[in-house]
Amino acid sequence: MMVDVDGTLIMNILQRMQADMADLKQDMREVKLRMTILEGHHASVMASLHLLQEQNDRSREDMRQVKRRPELVDAD
């Protein structure tokens, strides 16, 4: 037994699939753009944290030196 296939139905389904794929492609472009922005922000935050850590380390070392050499502190 052979089933008649309506070409119009198949074309409608294919057109909807193409429209859905176009929507998915646009959504993916937006996701990629947002990810790029987030990656940039993340890199900026990490660089700032690195600089803050270096400053903190220098301050700690300065404090250690002061504690080791009390004569460096003004006794006023």
User: Would you say 72 and 65 are in contact if contact means Cβ atoms under 8 Å apart?
Assistant: yes
- pTM of the predicted model, to two decimals? 0.62
The pLDDT-based confidence of 65 (bands split at 50, 70, 90) is confident
> How many angstroms separate the CA atoms of 25 and 68, rounded?
64
Alpha helices in the chain (DSSP H): 7-68
What would the mean pLDDT of 31-51 be, rounded to a whole number?
98
Round the CA-based radius of gyration of the chain to a whole number and report it: 32
Percent of the chain with pLDDT over 90: 67
Question: 71: which DSSP letter?
Answer: G
